[in-house]
Structure 1
């Protein structure tokens, strides 16, 4: 088999494994896959099919390379834009480790077609709040935040997209990385077009991640 046949063989075999989600987002009430939920199975299936993988990181992107052990020159590469992490009151190496772990998780999920639908399921059928007029939206990332604090305060008058933008700035992430992050998230969750409902789901996931790596929130409105 060539490397594409091997990859497809592993993908199909994973479907028969009945993978269980051990991650729990308590704020938006959905489960998600941790690396440990699928990586051991992937490693075993790749070994059986004589494949291996490597992950590399640069300032610009993370890359997962699948390699055919029988023909090492035969490779498939999956990439994702790399977001910088510089959270307030958090150690630099902790931020880096958290971001790299997240990138590993999403790269393997992309490569092996591991789908998470729960993020959207929890928002389907719920009323979507009307977007606030753009001229009056709050764009200050430090709005109502205590001085020199790692605490973010949500502005419920803002649209979900506007709050993502403020939260991204508050975390001191590069604003140029945000469009790519949103695009990748939408593609990963098979969303053809973002709206207030899907932006709200993304905001919930982003908030949960930032809590895990040390950011504090005064009140979480979901």
Structure 2
């Protein structure tokens, strides 16, 4: 199956289009197998369907896909398609995306009616379950600290971190047991980085929740176990 790669002004587009929807569905499945969450869309009122992945999506894909895109970008300045500065920026983004994928997938951090929303969505149920399992391993409780929804038929599912979950993760990053602290601290730091990229208001809200979570205080081991139980069960 042949995809087209377009080097637009500010973005790389990896695209497949056809009047045969089944072929486009197959192209989307192949992209998902390569680690890229992509959906089939229709071109206006025409009987043409397409699937595409842009720079950030491609950066989180598997090595074979990233390498193929990287080769196109590396050749682009020589062929006069883009200037070297833009090509270097895209190559750096592909590299950063790879490093991000090795730690955490791309979480969306935003404000919805003033409330912080932190979530990861994917059409791949295995990816959703993987994230949920990581939170369980951190001692977060489903329903109390995070929620999970998975759908069939290619629809996106998601795992969402609740306000209480982010606050508890922040507390664990400081006061948790040794084996807990590193992965939880990495997650909290990552969410703050994502929030900062979304703007001052989003960052301030995330920072407020994290600081309140950390401020629960340092306690004796027996008290820590008791407080952890209250965090998990919602006790007061």
- Decide: shared fold, TM above 0.5: no
Say which structure is richer in helix: 2
* Greater RCO (Cα-Cα under 8 Å, separation 6 or more): 1
The alignment's TM-score, normalised by the length of structure 1, stands at: 0.31
Larger radius of gyration: 2
